[in-house]
Amino acid sequence: MSSTLLLIQLLNGIQLGVLLFLIAAGLTLVFGVMGFINLAHGVQYMIGAYLTVWFYGMTGHFGAALLLALLAALALALFLEFAVFRHLYDRDHLDQVLATFGVILFLNQAVKVIWGPTPLVISPPEFLAGTFRLTENLNYSIWRIAIIMIGFTVAGLLWFLVTKTRIGMLVRAGATNAGMVGALGVNIRRLFMIVFGFGAMLAGFAGSIAAPIYSVEPGMGDGLLITAFVVIVIGGIGSIRGTFIAALLVGLVDTLGRSTITDILKLFLEPSAANQIGPALASMAIYILMAAVLFFRPEGLFPAQGRRA
Amino acid sequence: MKNLVSVAAVALSLAAAPVALAKDTLKVGMIVTLSGPPGALGNQARDGFQLALEEMGGKLGGMETEFILEDDELKADVAQSKARSLVEREEVDFVVGTIFSNMLAAIYKPVIQSGAFLISPNAGPSTFAGKNCHENFFVTSYQNNQNFEVLGKIATDKEYRKVFMLAPNYQAGKDAMAGFKQNYKGEIADEIFTPLGHKDFSAEIARIADAEADALFIFMPGGMGVRFVKQFRASGLADKMAFLSAFTVDETTLPAQKDDAVGMNGATNWAPDLDNEQTAAFTAAFEEKYGYIPGGYAMQAYDSAKLIDSAVTKAGGVGDKDAVRAALEAADFTSLRGDFSFNNNHYPVQDFYLLEVVKRDDGKYHTSIVEKVFDDYADSYADACKL
Q: Is cis: bond before B279, omega within 30 of 0?
A: no
A178-202: per-residue pLDDT in tens? 788 888 888 888 888 888 999 999 9
Mean pLDDT computed over B90-114: 94
pLDDT of residue A295: 93
pLDDT of A271 above 90? no
pLDDT of residue A134: 74
- Name every residue in A having a CB less than 8 A away from some CB of B: 1-2, 4-5, 8-9, 12, 16, 108-109, 112, 116-121, 131, 133, 135, 137-141, 144, 213-215, 217-220, 223-224, 255, 258-259, 262, 275, 278-280, 282-283
Tell me, yes or no, whether B280 and B136 share the same domain.
yes
Those of residues 175-234 in B touching chain A at CB distance below 8 A are 191-195, 197, 199-200, 202-207, 209-210, 212, 222-223, 226-227, 230-231, 234
Nearest to A138 among B192, B226, B236 (CB): B236
Is B365 domain-assigned?
no
Confidence band, pLDDT 50/70/90 cuts, at residue B341:
very high
Tell me, yes or no, whether B291 and B264 share the same domain.
no
Helix axes A3-34, B202-211, angle to 10 degrees: 170
pLDDT of residue B16: 47
Distance from C-alpha of A214 to C-alpha of A216, rounded to nearest angstrom: 7
Tell me, yes or no, whether B174 and B289 share the same domain.
no
B204-245: per-residue pLDDT in tens? 888 898 888 999 999 998 888 999 999 899 888 999 999 999
User: Hey, is the C-beta of B174 within 8 angstroms of any chain A C-beta?
Assistant: no
Which residues are B187's β-sheet partners?
B162
A41-82: per-residue pLDDT in tens? 999 999 999 999 999 999 988 999 999 999 999 999 999 999
Helix (H) or strand (E) holding B260: none
Between these two residues, A34 and B108, which has the higher pLDDT value? B108
Domain ranges of chain A: 3-217
CATH number at residue B163: 3.40.50.2300
- A260 close to A281: Cβ distance less than 8 angstroms: no
Tell me, yes or no, whether B261 and B153 share the same domain.
yes
Is B346 domain-assigned?
yes
Is B370 domain-assigned?
no
Is B335 domain-assigned?
yes
A144-183: per-residue pLDDT in tens? 999 999 999 999 999 899 889 998 888 888 777 778 888 8
CB contact under 8 A, B36 and A218: yes
Distance from C-alpha of A23 to C-alpha of A200, rounded to nearest angstrom: 8
- B60 close to A134: Cβ distance less than 8 angstroms: no
Closest CA to B378 of B338, B345, B350: B350
Helix axes B146-157, B171-183, angle to 10 degrees: 40
Between these two residues, B258 and B19, which has the higher pLDDT value? B258
A79-114: per-residue pLDDT in tens? 999 999 889 888 899 999 999 999 999 999 999 889
Tell me, yes or no, whether B210 and B250 share the same domain.
yes
Number of domains composing chain B: 2
B114-132: per-residue pLDDT in tens? 999 999 999 999 889 999 9
Mean pLDDT computed over A18-28: 93
Is B384 domain-assigned?
no
Give the sign of the dihedral formed by CA B375, CA B379, CA B382, CA B387.
negative
Those of residues 40-99 in B touching chain A at CB distance below 8 A are 40, 43
Q: What does each C-alpha distance from A241 to A45, A100, A160, A245, B294 come to in angstroms?
A: 21, 26, 11, 6, 51
DSSP letter at A125 equals: P
Report, in angstroms and rounded to the nearest whole number, the Rg of chain A calculated over CA atoms: 20
CB contact under 8 A, B257 and A121: yes
**SS3 for B252?**
coil
Distance from C-alpha of B42 to C-alpha of B29, rounded to nearest angstrom: 14
Alpha helices per DSSP H over chain B = 2-24, 39-55, 76-84, 101-114, 146-157, 171-183, 202-211, 223-234, 254-257, 277-290, 296-315, 321-330
Nearest CA in chain A to B174: A276
CB contact under 8 A, B206 and A9: yes
Tell me, yes or no, whether B14 and B137 share the same domain.
yes
- When scoring A18, A118, A214, A252 by the number of chain B Cβ atoms within 10 A, the one with the most, hence best to mutate, is A118
Is B175 domain-assigned?
yes
pLDDT of residue B6: 54
Confidence band, pLDDT 50/70/90 cuts, at residue B186:
very high
pLDDT of residue B196: 82
* Residue ending a domain, choose from B249, B268, B287: B268
Question: What distance in Å separates residue B382's CA from the closest CA in chain A?
Answer: 28
B79-92: per-residue pLDDT in tens? 999 999 999 999 99
* Residue ending a domain, choose from B235, B268, B301: B268
- When scoring A215, A216, A255, A275 by the number of chain B Cβ atoms within 10 A, the one with the most, hence best to mutate, is A215
pLDDT of B180 above 60? yes
pLDDT of B387 above 70? yes
A250 alpha-carbon distance from chain centroid = 11
Q: Is the ipTM of this complex over 0.90?
A: no
Tell me, yes or no, whether B228 and B292 share the same domain.
no
CB contact under 8 A, A215 and B255: no
Alpha helices per DSSP H over A89-219 = 93-115, 142-164, 166-183, 188-210
Question: What distance in Å separates residue A159's CA from the closest CA in chain B?
Answer: 28
Tell me, yes or no, whether B164 and B257 share the same domain.
yes
**SS3 for B181?**
helix
Closest CA to A227 of A255, A247, A212, A197: A247
Mean pLDDT computed over B185-190: 92
B124 alpha-carbon distance from chain centroid = 8
DSSP for A24-42 reads: HHHHHHHHHHH----TTHH
Confidence band, pLDDT 50/70/90 cuts, at residue B23:
low
- B153 close to B351: Cβ distance less than 8 angstroms: no
Tell me, yes or no, whether B151 and B230 share the same domain.
yes
Mean pLDDT computed over B169-190: 90
Closest CA to A20 of A249, A197, A212, A291: A249
Tell me, yes or no, whether B105 and B157 share the same domain.
no
Q: How many CB pairs under 8 A join A and B?
A: 114
- When scoring B71, B181, B187, B199 by the number of chain A Cβ atoms within 10 A, the one with the most, hence best to mutate, is B199
* b/e map B161-187, b = 16+ CB within 10 Å: ebbbbbbbbeebbbbbbebbbebbebe
- When scoring A53, A106, A120, A138 by the number of chain B Cβ atoms within 10 A, the one with the most, hence best to mutate, is A138
Alpha-carbon torsion, ordered A192, A194, A198, A199, to 10 deg: 0
Question: What distance in Å separates residue A293's CA from the closest CA in chain B?
Answer: 24
* Residue ending a domain, choose from B248, B268, B288: B268
pLDDT of B17 above 70? no
Enclosing domain of residue B205: 146-268
B292-305: per-residue pLDDT in tens? 999 999 999 999 99
- B269 close to B246: Cβ distance less than 8 angstroms: no
Is B383 domain-assigned?
no
Which residues are B139's β-sheet partners?
B120
CB contact under 8 A, A217 and B37: yes
Nearest to B209 among A1, A121, A138 (CB): A138
A212-259: per-residue pLDDT in tens? 888 888 888 888 999 999 999 999 888 888 999 999 999 999 988 887
Residue type, B350: Q
